[in-house]
Copies of this chain bind each other. A is one copy, B any other.
């Protein structure tokens, strides 16, 4: 009975101790998944030491449960012959996922060590785009002709040479190898042995094509509660199957992608050892933000005189802009995630926009007043506490209404333009809200307070 993913004995310490006999004795205490989870976070030399002391038959299993990028690094360090020997024991979709992450030269060397048919199959898988159904599907599936009986289908399963490990469905094809139906193992067991399979199979099929985006595949599987989705070509011939374990990976990957993109922190989690990749992932977003910040500075220039006569105005810039930024981020986050999980329908957005703006206005009123009431306690100079309070109240409220509207509309427009709203929303919304919110705030100051402004 295994419950914990991190058993108390810490593999890292064992490896670092250098006592390989203790390591070898400890390895059977971890199952393949636990070992893979621990290996993911070890240093390269430590990973190699553990794998070297691991019984040969466990190595492929452990490798297949590791993060693909880390497994790819391990494979790159092996001799091509050894790498091919190891990968040959993996399910071919796992092998392709790892091979897709290694250096081109090394890849060719490794593929040359496979027998021709296997190498060809792997090359075909590698040719599909990374985030497509083709890129995540397994080319092994179990299919029978529509005229066989249940008993014959069962015998075919029992005598199959290479049955996919996760087979849950038997696919049924016609004489042109076109997919015409499917039957789950459960229903196969429940059906009368002498029935022809086409009389009991399901014919309403959910299928995808090789170029379907993996996010769509995951959406389909999750909506239809399927544990595998067949991938077909334009003739409806079966190319492969996307299994639920890969769909679960996709769901986690896509959620991570959305979360990171919204913060401008790249597309995927990057190993802490990789400085360059992290740097490159974060440069563009910060560049956009810097440009936005300069735009803000430039657009506020006309108010230098106002600031000179009432510097207290500057002290409340962070809170006015910040409250707007917060509401804007809330609204855009709700829209981005809502679009991703199908919660926000682009055809019915009026209600959503209305709610967000109403929320911005009411929350803005509450916090605008609260901030203004507290501000005199700070004892800032200025001479006109009432005017300043009113400026802060209305500025905060206005900035929050603007932010709610911008934060809701921008991702919806991006989505309509087929731009991933998670990518571009952040800096755009922040900059727009900073500029509009602060311009409003300073304009209010010139109207409500005895401060002057140059025309902006």
Contact = CB atoms under 8 A, between A and B. Distances in A.
A264 B334 contact: no
A219 interface: yes
Contacts of A289: 322-323, 326
A290 B311 contact: no
A188 interface: yes
Nearest to A236: B1
Interface in A320-342: 320-323, 326-327, 329-331, 333-334, 336-338, 341-342
A167 B186 CA distance: 7
A272 B351 contact: yes
B269 A378 contact: no
A189 to B, nearest CB: 5
A356 to B, nearest CB: 8
B348 A41 contact: yes
B65 A223 contact: yes
Given A167-B186, A318-B317, A293 B259 contact: no
Nearest to A32: B224
Nearest to A349: B272
A256 B326 contact: no
A305 B311 CA distance: 8
A47 interface: no
A15 interface: no
Given A190-B158, A220-B5, A282 B318 contact: no
A157 B378 contact: no
Contacts of A255: 251-252, 255, 258-259
Kindly name the residue among A186, A293, A375 whose own CB sees the greatest number of chain B CB atoms within 10 A.
A293
Given A37-B223, A227-B168, A251-B252, A286 B323 contact: yes
B264 A330 contact: yes
Contacts of A279: 359, 362-363
A298 B378 contact: yes
Nearest to A366: B283
A190 to B, nearest CB: 6
A146 to B, nearest CB: 16
Interface in A256-298: 256, 258-260, 262-265, 269, 272-273, 275, 278-279, 282-283, 285-287, 289-290, 292-294, 296-298
A125 interface: no
Contacts of A330: 263-265, 282, 285
Bin the interface of chain A by size. 35 or more
Contacts of A33: 223-224
A97 interface: no
Contact of A319 (B166, B290, B301): B290
Kindly name the residue among A154, A314, A345 whose own CB sees the greatest number of chain B CB atoms within 10 A.
A314
A166 B334 contact: no
A333 B378 contact: no
A204 interface: yes
A269 B220 CA distance: 20
A352 B1 contact: no
5 contacts: A3-B208, A158-B190, A255-B255, A286-B363, A308-B311
Interface of A: 1-3, 5, 10, 12, 31, 33, 37, 41, 65, 154, 157-158, 163, 166-168, 185-186, 188-190, 204-208, 219-225, 227, 236, 244-245, 247-249, 251-252, 255-256, 258-260, 262-265, 269, 272-273, 275, 278-279, 282-283, 285-287, 289-290, 292-294, 296-298, 300-301, 303-305, 307-308, 311-323, 326-327, 329-331, 333-334, 336-338, 341-343, 345, 347-348, 351-352, 354-355, 358-359, 362-363, 366-367, 370-371, 374-375, 378-381, 427, 430, 434, 438
CB-CB nearest 6 A-B residue pairs = A293-B319, A255-B255, A307-B311, A263-B333, A314-B314, A225-B245
